[in-house]
Amino acid sequence: MSYRLPPLNSLRAFEASARHLSFKRASDELCVTPGAVSQQVKSLEASLGVQLFRRFPRGLLLTAEGESYLPLISNAFRAISDATEHVAPALKGRFLRVGVSRALSERRHPAIEGLRRGEERPRTKLITTDDLGKLIDGKLDVLLRTSPQFPPGLHADRIALPTPSGPALPATLVTLPGLAGCREVRALLKLLTRA
Amino acid sequence: MSYRLPPLNSLRAFEASARHLSFKRASDELCVTPGAVSQQVKSLEASLGVQLFRRFPRGLLLTAEGESYLPLISNAFRAISDATEHVAPALKGRFLRVGVSRALSERRHPAIEGLRRGEERPRTKLITTDDLGKLIDGKLDVLLRTSPQFPPGLHADRIALPTPSGPALPATLVTLPGLAGCREVRALLKLLTRA
DNA sequence: CTTCATGGCATAGAAAATCTAAGTCAACAC
DNA sequence: GTGTTGACTTAGATTTTCTATGCCATGAAG
């Protein structure tokens, strides 16, 4: 038997916003802009014909409908997430595993430190290493190093890390080809190259 | 706590294909082309790194992973669908409620008859009526009539219904503006104007 | 054997959805 | 008063989804 599902991407924006009671914090979690979250939630409300949030200048409150919807949607997403991890155990890690070479790690670059402290998105687990083998073995998702060298078959972005004072620091972000375009890696790239 | 969700639209394509063991029949249900379903499922398999189907020239079989994934995903979608109906009761109808004027109804137009017998998509519930009031009152989603007249505020598409023999039959498909762009209405339009 | 029907696959491009950047507004803090 | 924060809106950029088309492999019918 078929069902009618609401727009699922919008539902994701709703769920994250409802947990945080903030489009801003939801946008951080989802690695998109607050405007995108706002639009998605608005679009969901329009398609449902139901207000899910009360908006305030500095945040959100759930309506009664939103209050009743949230746990049901969160549980369904949790079930999907768990089922997915069960079927594809390789997706179990909830963090982007980022190798950072010792040289860069010791530079205490602000964005990298922010990631380390959990203050920046995407969520990452930082590992001090420059071992490309870990990338190939699937033990890392991304490797950030100063050396521009990388073996064929991997994908590399040459970037300039802005420094608080002085010239930008050249670095290379290496990934498996399949991961190069994923949202978290792109978000990481953007974070690292941000002024 | 956040989760990592697979691409939800692809998941929808997987779930429908797995129920039907056919991209073709899933495409009918989802009102998209088989090629689109195929691409979505393939994309999901790539992002999970797991084969979900075995393909055969005349259909699909589920892999062990696909077998274990399906009930979990179906249940989650069911939960979302139920939650959505609970929060937005107006969405309860699972059928597109189509009013067909008596004149058109009596013509026994093939596409309309196909809809009536449940042989054509989108799923519709046909009601013989030409009462625009029902549309405005929300008791109908769409009204198909021969008359080109409709009140301001509604949306109308003037269409030509192909007949098996003879010239196309002019008709008007009237909807509330909010519904005019929705997938089911568009699918209905396409079905009715198909040669 | 040939022909026809069926359905999955791949591709290029069209269409739609999603997102971003930028600016506005309303509150709150100092 | 100014500055900060976060929600809202808009236009356009970007990405995703979809379509149309043709190809391929099978199975059924003649």
Average pLDDT of chain B to the nearest whole number? 83
Residue B133: pLDDT band (50, 70, 90) is confident
pLDDT reading at B104 higher than 60: yes
- Strand C positions within 7 A of protein Cβ atoms: 6-12, 17-23, 25-28
Read off the tokens for B113.
């008859």
Residue B1: pLDDT band (50, 70, 90) is very low
Distance from C-alpha of A39 to C-alpha of A43, rounded to nearest angstrom: 6
How confident is the model over A155-191, as pLDDT tens digits? 788 888 877 677 778 888 888 765 656 677 878 887 8
pLDDT reading at B152 higher than 80: no
Average pLDDT of chain A to the nearest whole number? 84
Predicted local distance difference test score (pLDDT) of residue B174: 85
Q: Which of residues 10-69 of B touch strand C (CB under 7 A)?
A: 22-25, 34-35, 38-39, 41-42, 55-60
Distance from C-alpha of B181 to C-alpha of A95, rounded to nearest angstrom: 39
Is the C-beta atom of A172 closer than 7 angstroms to strand D? no
pLDDT reading at A53 higher than 90: yes
Predicted local distance difference test score (pLDDT) of residue B143: 87
Task: Mention every residue, 6+ apart, whose C-beta is less than 8 A from residue A117.
Answer: none
Return the higher-pLDDT residue of B3 and B161.
B161
B91 contacts in chain A (CB < 8 Å): 4, 6, 48-49
Predicted local distance difference test score (pLDDT) of residue B105: 85
Give me the helix-helix angle, A64-87 and A8-20, nearest 10°: 110
How confident is the model over A7-49, as pLDDT tens digits? 899 999 999 999 999 999 999 888 899 999 999 999 999 888 8
B6: left (phi over 0), alpha (psi -120 to 50) or beta: beta
A178 contacts in chain B (CB < 8 Å): 46
Domains, in order of start, for chain A? 8-90 (1.10.10.10), 96-193 (3.40.190.10)
Q: DSSP secondary-structure letter at B118?
A: T
Predicted local distance difference test score (pLDDT) of residue B36: 93
In sequence order, the β-bridge partners of residue B96 are B124
